[in-house]
Every structure is written in structure tokens, then in C-alpha cells.
Amino acid sequence: MARTALTPVFVGLRTGLHVLFLLLTVVVIVRAVVRPDEYSAVVVVLSAVLLVVYAAGVLLPRGPGARAVALRSVWVGALTLGWICLLVLTPDAAYLVFALFFLYLHLFGRWWGPVAVVVATAVAISALALHSGWTVGGVVGPTVGAGVALLIGLGYEALAREAEQRERLVRELLATRDQLAVTEHESGVLAERGRLAREIHDTVAQGLSSIQLLLHAAERADGERPGVEHIRLARETAAANLADTRRFIRELTPPDLDDQGLGGALRRLAGTQWAAQGLEVRVRVSDTVTLPMHLQTALLRIAQGAVANVLQHAHASTVTITLETDQQEVRFTIADDGEGFDPQVVTAAAGGTTDSFGLQATEERVQQLGGTLTIDAAPGRGTTVVVTLSQAEAA
């Protein structure tokens, strides 16, 4: 079993089972020695062999493999056969059935485990009746023990299932946290690069462009006057520095967007990366739409995350990406024809917020942009993700 927060509990239960089997076997041995009869020596030897067989269970392979299951079944069969032989010789061996109950429930599963418990209970009751006749204690004792074992087995199974769910939830939370950290870092880096590009463009580049124009005007005003060669050199230097500055701006601009903007970047991804994975992506984004670079970058990352979710979870064949703008707002829509899901169930499972699969990262990014995220989905009719931004925020 994988290490979980409840592993000490499971270890304690297994240790208790081992101690129970040991103590009950020791009781059989002690009673055979204290109250000897013609079978006492055989009982002692058979009890010792039973302990050795039980201890050999530690060496059995674990896991769901066919060989491991077969070996465990043979081991339990040997224990059961040894117990029945002891039971024929002494009624004291009937108590060992309580430890065997838990082995049956643990190794034979939800259905065959209870069947084995019922059969073992019937065997114990019958053996006690053969030794001492039919008594109330001989019937009620094993029956009550079987009932208690079944209840404990059900509790153990529920506890194990709860532990597995908790571990899965913790893994998802850790993965989401790491994804959010990476997304936040990436968003911060891109935002800072975009800010620097805008600052350089609006200050240094504009200043160098103005200097170049002024020097060019001065050079043309009187091309023969003394010192014009210095003006020409200054103009050429300003032109070279302006070219370098524009190159810096291009390098700071996200590479996916530096040629044809958001529409071009999406079409490139649709024709290469997404098409290679068997998904048809239709891009309805006009190249004439002008949005700030940081906003184009954010919408591109949102589209990439949404399409990644579609590829991983939706089993869709077509995705349509649309950008619509008017004087009031910007609407960015990603719609697929996949399996869809129930947003209310997902939100309720996450405690009132959007669940994993990248939607939470998208929601965080949209909130940073001052917009709203709308998810229209239902099982069997696909999913539509709509990001709405006001023109004031998009400016």
C-alpha cells in the first residue's frame, strides 16, 4: 500500500491481526499442554506448523498480479486446511476462525470475502457441535464474531477508500498549485517584458526617431555648410541606435505574437501543433483587430490552456476560437464539440470555485485582466468558454 496519512492506522490493524492469530494459537497450545489427552502432542505440533505457515505470508509477493493472487490463495487455503485439522482434534481451535475472518475479507475482496466468512462460520459451528453438542454459545459465538468481522472489514474498506480519495485530492491540489505558480510566473514575466517593450517604444525609440528626423532636416537645409559631416554622422548613429532599439522591442515581444499578432499565432498553432494531435481548430480572429500586447499574450495563453483541456478531457473533434470587439467590450470565445461536463458538479466539488483541469488558472488570469469568465457546458453538448473584457480594461 502506498504511504498515506492513514498508513499508521492500517499498519496498526495488520499488527493487531498478527497478534490476534498468535495469541489464539498460543491459547490452543497452552490448553493442549495443561489438559493433555491422546491428541495433545499432535495439536501442539500442528499449531506450531500453522504458525510457521502464517509467518510465511510475509514472504508472499504483493500486488494485483495473477501469480501474486494465486500464491496468496494457496497460502490462505493452507491456513484454512491446517485450521480445520486442528478443529477436528480440539474445539479450542474454533477461536482461530476470528483471525481467519479478517484474512478472508482482506484477501478475497468485497464479494468472495463475506462468502468465505459465512462458510468458515458454518464449519466452526458444526465442529463445536460435533465436539460438545449443539449449544447456544456454540452457535452465537462464531455468528457474532462473523458479524463483528464483517462490520470491521467494511469499516476498513471505507477507511482505505477515503484515504485513497484524500491522497488523490492532495495530488490534484499540489499539481494545481504548481500549475498556478508556473502560470503566474509566466504571466509576470510576459507582463514585465510587454511593459518594458512599451516603455522603450514610447520613450527611447520615439526620441531616437525624432532626433533622426531633426538631424535629417538639418542636413537637407544646408548640405554644404561646414560641419555637415558631423550632422550626418549623428543622424546615422541615431538611425543605428533606433534599429537596435526596435530589435530589443521585438525580442521583448512574445515570439508567438511578433509577426501577425493574436490571429496569426492562433492560426500557426492550429495548423501545426493542434492539427498534429488530430484536432481541427477554426480561428475567427481578424488580423486587423488591435489589442495591447499584454492582452494578446493573455488571450493566447488562455486559448492554449483551453485547447489543452479539450485535448486531454473533452474528446472533441473541432474547436472554434472567436474574437469579437465593439465599443463596449471584447469577447474571446473557445467552443468545442466534445463530451462536456456539469459545471455545477465541478464547482460544488471544489467548494464553490472552479475546479482543476486548467480552468482555475484561466479564471485567475481573467481576474487579473479585470474581466469575467463564463463557462457554458453540459454533458453531451460540448463546452464554451467566454472571456469578456471591457474596452476600458483592454485599452
pLDDT at residue 258 in the model: 54
Closest CA to 92 of 18, 17, 26, 20: 26
302 part of a folded domain: yes
**Residue 108 placed within a domain:** yes
Q: Which amino acid is at 60?
A: L
Q: What three-state secondary structure class fits 16?
A: helix
Give a yes or no: residue 114 inside a domain: yes
Give the containing element (helix H, strand E) for 383.
strand 383-390
For residue 333, what is the domain's CATH number?
Answer: 3.30.565.10
pLDDT by residue, tens only, the chain of 395 residues: 455 555 666 577 678 777 888 888 888 888 888 888 788 888 888 888 888 888 887 777 776 677 777 888 888 888 888 888 888 888 888 888 888 887 887 777 777 878 888 888 888 888 888 877 787 877 887 788 778 777 877 777 777 778 778 888 888 888 778 777 776 777 677 777 767 776 776 677 767 777 877 777 777 776 666 777 777 777 778 777 777 777 776 666 665 665 567 888 888 888 888 888 888 999 998 877 778 777 888 888 888 888 888 887 788 999 999 999 888 889 999 999 988 887 776 554 444 444 444 677 788 888 888 899 999 988 888 899 999 998 765 55
Residue type, 382: G
pLDDT tens-digit series, residues 323-349: 998 888 899 999 999 888 877 765 544
Q: Which domain holds residue 306?
A: 258-395
Tell me whether residue 190 is in a domain: no
pLDDT for res 1 = 47
Give the SS3 label for residue 339. coil
Asked whether 387 and 331 are in contact (CB, 8 A), the reply is yes
Domain count, the chain: 2
Is 305 a domain residue? yes
Q: Tell me the C-alpha distance between 354 and 361, whole Å.
A: 9
* Last residue in a domain, options 79, 108, 134: 134
What residues contact residue 92 under an 8 Å CB cut-off, 6+ apart? 27, 28, 31, 32
1 located within any domain: no
What pLDDT score does 328 carry? Answer: 84
Instruction: Look at residues 115, 134, 153 and tell me which one is the last residue of a structural domain.
Output: 134
Asked whether residue 163 is assigned to any structural domain, the reply reads no
pTM above 0.75, yes or no: no
Buried b / exposed e over 318-327, threshold 16 CB at 10 Å, is ebebebebee
Of 134, 157, 179, which marks where a domain is finished? 134
Whether residue 308 is contained in a domain is answered as yes
Residue 158 is predicted with a pLDDT of 76
Cα–Cα distance for residue pair 374/370, rounded to 1 Å: 14
250 Cβ contact partners less than 8 Å away, ≥ 6 residues apart: 258
Across 230-239, b (16+ Cβ under 10 Å) vs e yields ebeebbeebb
Which of 77, 61, 59 has the alpha carbon at shortest distance from 69? 61
Beta strand 383-390 pairing with 280-284 = unpaired
Task: Say how far apart CA 217 and CA 235 lie, in whole Å.
Answer: 10
Burial of 302 (0-12, 13-18, 19+ CB in 10 A): buried
Q: Which grid coordinates belong to 334?
A: 473557445
How big, in percent rounded to 5, are the helix, strand and coil portions of the chain? 70, 10, 20
